Amino acid sequence: MALSHSLFYKLRFLVSSKCSYIGQITVHIEPKRFASNKFTTKTAEHFSTQLKTAENTDVSVRDRAIMFVPESQPVDQNVVEKLQDFVSASKKLFVLTGAGLSTESGIPDYRSEGVGMYARSKSRPIQYSDFINFADRRKRYWARNFVGWPKFRSTRPNASHRTLAEWEKAGKVHWLVTQNVDALHSKAYSERVTELHGLSAHIVCLSCGGQTTRDELQERMIEMNPGFSIESEAIAPDGDVILSDEVVKGFNVPSCKDCRGVLKPKLVFFGDNVPRVTVEFVHSRLREADAFLVAGSSLEVYSGYRFALAAKEQKKPIAIVNIGPTRADKLATLKINARLGSILPYIQIT
């Protein structure tokens, strides 16, 4: 017996709402299978059993992920079809991703209503000028980052990261620019990627320009702080945690091995600027593209918003998938208020 139309979509949304949070089980139910009458009630029951089993055995994984995902309504079939049409019409798609993409991997963002860092805490990210000019603020930054790093580096790509990597392999994505510093696109094996704000995993000396890895720096921090054994499951968007001033006071900060200069993550901190060469490179890739997709960004920060403005000026169609309003809503050809994991994996690439 063929699966009814309503039951098919009910199950698809059930899968959509569960699978992005469950480590090893990813189920893709394709509409074309329903069209060919091969998707039966028995098959539906099989997938439902898989989901229940995964849910019972790995609840903690799912719960940690959904902690930072804002509430959103289920995606309607018509909305999926609209995004499908947008993606299908593009031959050279330019994608800009933001923190909303990684919330489903358990990394919080700053601005999401109710669950973002600004809604949950009075803590604010360090400013570039403070990091450069004040040793005590650098110490606080590195102490917090030291505690948060093991958790941050262990995060894994979710269904949306993997989907975008698959689109690239299929020749759909011309270039992807991410505002995130978590390296999850690289972990998902995307290659045509620009990390607009840098990566937390890379460290640079502000005096001699020498570079090292964050993992190597973590080992040095462990050696220099043998009694600093604080653990935390909670992380902030850039990988640090909140610590009291009293705890931070006893932390020892490593300097450059070669010149004893100040070490800094190779990131664009708040109040800093994206290198001009990076901006020019991204503009070049955008000019070569024929459509612009924003995935999981409010575009409140100008470093990303500028590319939406450029796309509009170049008369490229713009689609935005994000929970909540964005700075570029008025520029968009298509705006979808949805969780990325509930829609991107269901877009077919032909």
Contact 350, 166 (CB under 8 A): no
Compute the distance between CA of residue 67 and CA of residue 35 in angstroms, rounded to an integer: 36
Gap between the terminal Cα atoms of the chain: 29
Decide if 283 is catalytic: no
Query: Cα–chain-centroid distance for residue 248?
Result: 29
The closest of 64, 233, 214 to 146, measured between CA atoms, is 214
Exactly one of 5, 161, 197, 283 is catalytic; which is it?
197
Contact 163, 173 (CB under 8 A): no
Number of H-type helices and E-type strands within the chain: 15, 9
Contact 115, 108 (CB under 8 A): yes
How many residues are listed for the chain in this entry?
350
Compute the distance between CA of residue 259 and CA of residue 93 in angstroms, rounded to an integer: 44
Indicate which residues carry an active-site annotation.
197
